[in-house]
Amino acid sequence: MHHRSLVAPFLPSLQRPTLACLSWLMVAALCLAWPRPAQARSTPTEKSEPKVEKAERTEKSDKQSSDKSATPVRDAGKEEGAAENLGVLRQRLAERLATRPDPAPAPSAKAEARSEAKAESRAGKRAEPKGHGGELHWAYEGEGGPEHWGELKPEYRLCASGKRQSPIDIRDGIRVDLEKIQFDYQPSGFAVLDNGHTIQVNIAPGNSLQVMGRRYELLQFHFHRPSEERINGRQFDMVAHLVHKDADGRLAVVAVLLERGRDQPLVQTVWNNLPLEKGEPLPAPGQMDLNQLLPEDRGYYTYMGSLTTPPCSEGVLWMVMRQPVQLSANQLNIFGRLYPMNARPVQPGSGRLIKESQ
């Protein structure tokens, strides 16, 4: 009201535009004179702002310096943690690899061929038999081989300590007019047995021989590969041992040497009747005549020796036919697949007398 009273005397002389301008001026003056709020008066001045900014900059600088000093510690901690984690991962990977079966590499053609050859060789060899108590039985190789026969059982001690053991290398024999062996072999029934050491043929009673005033009954015959006997150092492809016994229990063995050549009919008869299982004699149909196995020349070597298998009993009369008998390569191979080697090594002669037919 006070302002209007001051201006009122001049109002009639002023035009309308001038009134409008004055009105705006009054409004502006009122706005300037209006008291400011407390918040506006408390706003920091330009002089206080530098102090705040300086404090903030100091705080930031301290923080950065602390961060810089703490950075190596944190980095070292991170590196130690990473190394520890890497070690744990490696340990876990090693444990998994240890428990995980390694994949079998694909065998090469040569490796497969060698593996097949080894398998065939193992198939051809007989495993060393074990008794019911797990005791080791005699064999031709390994822990039960000939060099250990005398240790396997007390009753086998002669295999190691005997002085009249067989086989021997027959040489330097004395040629004399030996008594002819009188063979009395007849066609007879027979059974074929695979006893785990050789192929054995059990002959029905009624076959015998007579020599040196004694009569010996034929019990069985069997085979060895290669021949156990040697003649002046020569070893043959195989040998057949014909085992006889007299009424007093004395043994006489006729050895028929076998060499590669043409088919042998009697041997083929034996192969035709091979049993499928070991330890079970297979009775064969028909009969066999042992005269077919003997050579035409009945000259022989003779000496006193022993059984060539445990218990290696001594006091055995040996008669080794001088002329070998032939059998075919196929017949040799058939036995070789069953028993590649079942011959005892030659034993010391120990000064024994050997006689030979003239």
Residue labelled with tokens 């785990």: 196
Closest CA to 319 of 285, 355, 293: 355
- Reading phi first (left if > 0) and then psi (alpha if -120 to 50, else beta), residue 232 is in left
β-strand partners of 246: none
What is residue 358's DSSP assignment? -
Helix, strand, coil percent values for the chain (each to nearest 5): 40, 25, 40
Give me the DSSP letters along 244-308.
EE-TTS-EEEEEEEEEESS--HHHHHHHHT--SSTT--EEPSS-B-GGGGS-S---EEEEEEE-S
Measured distance CA(323)–CA(305) in Å, rounded: 20
Active site residue 197: yes
Nearest to residue 309, comparing CAs of 195, 200, 159, 199? Answer: 159
Q: Which of 3, 132, 137, 197 is catalytic?
A: 197
Q: What is the DSSP letter of 49?
A: H
Residue with tokens 């002023």: 14
Residue by residue, DSSP assigns 56-75 as HHHHHHHHHHHHHHHHHHHH
Single out the residue of 334, 263, 332 nearest to residue 293, CA to CA.
263
On the 0-12 / 13-18 / 19+ scale of CB atoms within 10 A, 106 is exposed
Rounded CA gap, 87 and 96, in Å? 14
Question: Active-site residue numbers?
Answer: 197
